[in-house]
Amino acid sequence: MRQLVASIDAHLVVPLSLATLADTVRLSTGHFARKFHHSAGLSVNRFINTRRISASFPLLLQGTSPLAAIAMDVGFSSQSHFTRLFTGLTGITPDQFRRLHPRVVG
């Protein structure tokens, strides 16, 4: 599982399909999805999106990049998709996150 998570983290910016991940561990997609959910407590897609949102935190804290660029940098296809998932996971928008955690300079 650690190797799989490391692989997911290393490839967040590329589309990751259930079939591709299942192939890496040589399991059918259905069996892999069940085992992954049992082990991680989340579906594969939810797990990947959670990791992408987590990867956006330091980029948001830097405060210099536009939200659309950050969304692309962590593997989302659009700013709106990123914002929708970020809000669903954290309860606040990425912009609100930035305002609540102002950048410390110096």
84-97: pLDDT as tens digits? 999 999 999 999 99
Closest Cα to residue 51, out of 99, 103, 16, 8? Answer: 8
Res. 106 pLDDT band, cuts 50 70 90: very low
Mean pLDDT, range 43-49, rounded to an integer: 95
pLDDT tens string 12-45: 998 888 998 999 889 999 999 999 999 999 999 9
Predicted TM-score (pTM) of the model is 0.87
Q: State the Cα–Cα distance between residues 92 and 69, nearest whole angstrom.
A: 19
93 to 57, 82, 89: CA distances (angstroms) = 12, 9, 10
How far from chain centre, in Å, is Cα 68?
A: 15
Sorted by where each starts, the structural domains of the chain and their CATH numbers stand as 2-100 (1.10.10.60)
How far the first Cα of the chain sits from its last, in Å, is: 39
DSSP category for residue 42: S
